[in-house]
């Protein structure tokens, strides 16, 4: 194997949202940039290749399935459509940086201060750079239980190509990934059992919201089992048997949705003194600087919220260190919204009423089932009137403190509410707003009219 040197102003390890955006922006200033990716199937990052985009594409396909559609055949067509979409996005992301930065396919490892050796198919490339950005992301965790590596035991990436289609699926874990896949496969026609190790779904949400989500999943055919802890997974002839504390569940396939772990173990972080936490995530300050001079960590690998839009904002924070005034930080983030793409989508932003009270607010609260919001006909028009909407408001200032939107279009509506929180908008301004009709935004006219003191 040959070894060749390469010196650049910026080295980016990992092709995620923050890394690819920084690489393109920095190269546009006339600086030299190199970008390393170990897997060509991940050009563009986790989101577009195996997470946000492909899974939401499958959700949309699942929602469109008719009862007369054969589950196995329909799923195969949906996967083919998914692959065509992702193949195009992957190629477009590569084309976006081809000729702009030096692109290296290979495994990167720190071998000295501001030095990384990249093992490629054509030999090692020793890269030195004034600034280095680590954005290697995270991958699905595999639990240390017997049977976790058996055939047809999937993670959130591999189940997207499940073959054959599982008529019976057990989902282990009821976080947002488990909820999304349980909902999706139920819509595709599978008999789904969701194993939740906790006493209730969504323990951080308002009880009325958690119950509404469970009710919708149950009506869709998902069997939810609480306090269900898996002891092992076994093969039993042609099926898999998931062993629980007191009984077991049989299935054609099992999805392990128990969180994600950082891709850091092979980076040689100890060589340059980059500190990690007990889970392996890189420790950063509020400017995303690591403990090594000139090295930043962005995206999922730094242990922050694992959302692609957070990775995009990580790019802004680091860019301000590279080319700005260096004042932007992660502490600037206020009212960051999040959505779990079940059907309808579940979106949340800000504080729940209990959190608001704990923070010292005198709280007004409103909660209303979507089917009973007369000002909001859109869910009925599109045939999905499930869900509930809640708001938390400061009683003294009447400013919005938080909201949960379990309804059609909530992934869009939550952004308006997040902006209202950041701008200090009052409940009355939203309540009396003039919104297009029929739209989901009209829920604001109905729900906020029913604010009352929060009793807890």
Q: Which two tokens stand for residue 119?
A: 């093992």
Q: Band the pLDDT of 1: cuts 50, 70, 90.
A: low
Give the residue-averaged pLDDT of 214-236.
97
Give the residue-averaged pLDDT of 306-316.
98
Give CA–CA dist 284/132, Å, rounded.
14
Q: Tens digit of pLDDT for each residue in 132-160? A: 999 999 999 999 999 999 999 999 999 99
Give the residue-averaged pLDDT of 307-321.
98
> Would you say 299 and 18 are in contact if contact means Cβ atoms under 8 Å apart?
yes
| Interior/surface letters 225-247, b for 16+ CB within 10 angstroms, e for the rest | eeebebeebeeeeeebbbbeeee
Q: Phi-psi category of 425—alpha, beta or left, where left has phi over 0 and alpha has psi -120 to 50? A: beta
Give CA–CA dist 304/282, Å, rounded.
10
Peptide bond into 438 cis (omega under 30): yes
pTM for this prediction: 0.97
Q: Which two tokens stand for residue 167?
A: 């008529």
110 forms beta bridges with 116
Q: Please identify which residue in the block is written with the tokens 């089992």.
A: 225
Give CA–CA dist 371/369, Å, rounded.
5
Report the sign of the C-alpha dihedral through residues 313, 317, 320, 323, in that order.
negative
Q: What is the set of domains in the chain, with CATH numbers?
A: 3-138+261-332 (3.50.50.60), 153-258 (3.50.50.60), 338-453 (3.30.390.30)
Give the residue-averaged pLDDT of 328-353.
98
> Would you say 343 and 384 are in contact if contact means Cβ atoms under 8 Å apart?
yes
Q: Tens digit of pLDDT for each residue in 55-102? A: 999 999 999 999 999 999 999 999 999 999 999 999 999 999 999 999
Whole-number pLDDT of residue 2: 85
Is residue 164 over pLDDT 90? yes
365 is catalytic: no
Is residue 456 over pLDDT 90? no
Q: Which two tokens stand for residue 198?
A: 């906790």
Is residue 280 over pLDDT 70? yes
Ramachandran angles phi, psi of 425, nearest 5°: -70, 145
Give percent of the chain with pLDDT exceeding 70: 100
Q: Tens digit of pLDDT for each residue in 182-218? A: 999 999 999 999 999 999 999 999 999 999 999 999 9
Q: Tens digit of pLDDT for each residue in 370-425? A: 999 999 999 999 999 999 999 999 999 999 999 999 999 999 999 999 999 999 99
Give the residue-averaged pLDDT of 210-236.
97
The average confidence (pLDDT) of the chain is 97
Task: Count other C-beta atoms under 10 Å from residue 220's C-beta.
Answer: 15
Q: How many residues does the chain have?
A: 456
Give CA–CA dist 23/282, Å, rounded.
20
3-state secondary structure the chain: CCEEEEEEEEEEECCCHHHHHHHHHHHHCCCCEEEEECCHHHCCCHHHHCCHHHHHHHHHHHHHCCCCCCHHHHHHHHHHHHHHHHHHHHHHHHHHHECCEEEEECEEEEEECCEEEEEECCEEEEEEEEEEEECCCEEECCCCCCCCCCCCEECCCHHHHCCCCCCEEEEECCCHHHHHHHHHHHHHCCEEEEECCCCCCCCCCCHHHHHHHHHHHHHCCCEEECCCCCCEEEEECCEEEEECCCCEEEECEEEECCCEEECCCCCCHHHHCCCECCCCCECCCCCCECCCCCEEECHHHHCCCCCHHHHHHHHHHHHHHHCCCCCCCHHHCCCCCEEECCCCCEEEEECCHHHHHHCCCCEEEEEEEHHHCCCCCHHHHCCCCCCEEEEEEECCCCEEEEEEEECCCHHHHHHHHHHHHHHCCEHHHHHCCCCCCCCHHHHHHHHHHHCEECCC
> Would you say 34 and 129 are in contact if contact means Cβ atoms under 8 Å apart?
yes
Q: Which of 333, 150, 114 is nearest to 241 (CA)?
A: 150
CB-neighbour burial class of residue 346 (10 A; exposed 0-12, middle 13-18, buried 19+): buried
Is residue 277 over pLDDT 70? yes
393 forms beta bridges with 364, 400
Q: Which two tokens stand for residue 453?
A: 């003191």
Is residue 129 over pLDDT 90? yes
């Amino acid at each position: 194997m040959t070894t060749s040197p390469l010196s650049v102003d910026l080295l980016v390890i990992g092709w995620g949202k923050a890394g690819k955006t920084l690489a393109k922006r920095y190269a546009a200033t006339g600086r030299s940039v190199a970008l390393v990716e170990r897997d060509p199937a991940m050009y563009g990052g986790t989101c577009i290749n195996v997470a946000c985009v492909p899974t939401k594409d499958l959700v949309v396909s699942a929602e469109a399935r008719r009862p007369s559609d054969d589950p196995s055949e329909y799923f195969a067509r949906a996967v083919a459509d998914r692959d065509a979409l992702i193949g195009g996005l992957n190629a477009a992301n590569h084309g976006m940086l081809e000729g702009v930065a030096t692109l290296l396919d290979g495994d990167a490892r720190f071998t000295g201060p501001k030095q990384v050796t990249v093992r490629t198919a054509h030999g090692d490339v020793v890269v030195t750079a004034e600034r280095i950005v680590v954005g290697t992301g995270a991958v699905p965790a595999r639990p240390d239980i017997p049977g976790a590596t058996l055939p047809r035991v999937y993670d959130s990436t591999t189940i997207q190509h499940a073959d054959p289609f599982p008529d019976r699926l057990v989902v282990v874990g009821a976080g947002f990934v488990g909820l999304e896949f349980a909902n999706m496969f139920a819509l595709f026609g599978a008999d789904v059992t969701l194993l939740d190790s906790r006493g209730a779904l969504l323990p951080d949400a308002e009880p009325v919201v958690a119950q509404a989500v469970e009710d919708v999943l149950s009506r869709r055919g998902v069997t939810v089992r609480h306090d269900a802890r898996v002891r092992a997974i076994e093969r039993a002839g042609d099926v898999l048997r998931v062993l629980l504390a007191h009984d077991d569940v049989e299935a054609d396939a099992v999805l392990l949705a128990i969180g994600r772990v950082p891709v850091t173990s092979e980076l040689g972080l100890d060589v340059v003194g980059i500190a990690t936490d007990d889970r392996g995530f890189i420790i950063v300050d509020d400017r995303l600087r690591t403990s090594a001079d000139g090295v930043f960590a962005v995206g999922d690998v730094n242990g922050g919220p694992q959302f692609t839009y957070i990775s995009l904002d990580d790019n802004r924070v680091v860019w301000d260190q590279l080319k700005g005034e260096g004042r932007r930080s992660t502490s600037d983030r206020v009212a960051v919204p999040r959505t779990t793409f079940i059907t309808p989508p579940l979106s949340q932003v800000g504080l729940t009423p209990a959190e608001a009270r704990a923070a010292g607010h005198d709280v007004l609260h409103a909660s209303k089932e979507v089917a009973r919001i007369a000002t909001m006909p859109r869910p009925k028009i599109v045939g999905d009137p499930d869900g509930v909407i809640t708001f938390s408001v400061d009683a003294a200032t009447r400013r919005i403190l938080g909201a949960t939107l379990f309804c059609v279009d909530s992934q869009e509506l939550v952004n308006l509410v997040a902006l209202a929180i950041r701008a200090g908008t009052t409940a009355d301004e939203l309540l009396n707003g003039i919104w297009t009709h029929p739209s989901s935004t009209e829920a604001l006219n109905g729900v906020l009219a029913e604010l009352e003191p929060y009793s807890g």
